[in-house]
Structure 1
Amino acid sequence: MKRRDEILNAIRAEPGITFRGLVRKLGLGIGDLQYQLRKLEEEGEVFSRRMGRRRYLFPRDFEEEAQRLLIAISTDTRRKILLKLIEGPTDQKGLSDALGVSQPTVSYHMNELMKLGIVEAERRGRNVVYRLACDPETIVRMIREYRPGLLEKLADGLIDLLAGVGGEEDD
């Protein structure tokens, strides 16, 4: 029971944690964790949601929109796409160029984000323009509340970028 409480507390502390993330965080064996999670799900304490090959874990009664947003910000590329879309609607090529990833990669992640209901697509001639289907402030709030380490990572990236720009001017 102590182990189950430890797992439940970890999921409450980091809702949307992946199964593999929980393995790493708690240092448990995969079989042991699978067994304990099955028991917690049977008791109604936690539930999981699959997206692609990942299994995301949430405490019971965790809000639906929050689940979708936490899954959406769980990967670096999707998070970058969402942050770019906060600036305004854009097409696949614009996202590809801005993020430095291939158009098929953008397409894959956009399909995942549309399945979650976070992004909408609108055909304009030969182009598809993507825009957020949720409030941008909600995305920022989710990052701030549930993934504060991401804000530090984003700030560090901005500082590195500014330091690089500043360094060029000094030369």
Structure 2
Amino acid sequence: MTTSIFVNIPTADLDRSKAFYEALGYAINPMFSDDNAACVVVDENVYFMVLTREFFQTFTDKQVTEPKTHAQALIALTCDSREVVDATMAKGLAAGGTEPRPTSDLGFMYSRDLEDPDGNILEFFFMEPAAVEQGPDAFLAEQGAGSPSTSA
């Protein structure tokens, strides 16, 4: 059985959100989109359901936080290279996103955070394949660097 993930995120402006995610290179699946929601296809098993705040509220009895001031989730997405991280960020920034934190380069992992226009945080990152296989400490030791906690 294949598992898919649907990440639900709120928006104050559905049309703006659809344009932003399309600018990142993602498609909108019209079969699962309407005036309350847009199904953003990240890949064949990963989707963002961008929901109007009012519609989002119907799925929970808890208070929906304001993503511009409160973090509920940090959505991390892998990229094939550092260059793809930077290119994706450039698209997101040009489409109205912001970069809330400086770039993080730990030697084995390179990441950048992008806030969509609503404040939802996407982290685009590249991890060296050898670090995935060996673990970050072994990879850095092989490279002659310290552990992630001492090399940042």
TM-score by length of 1: 0.27
* Bigger RCO (CA 8 Å, 6+ sep): 2
TM-score by length of 2: 0.29
Which one has a larger percent helix, Structure 1 or Structure 2?
1
Q: From the CA coordinates, give the structure whose radius of gyration is larger.
A: 1
Which one has a larger percent strand, Structure 1 or Structure 2?
2
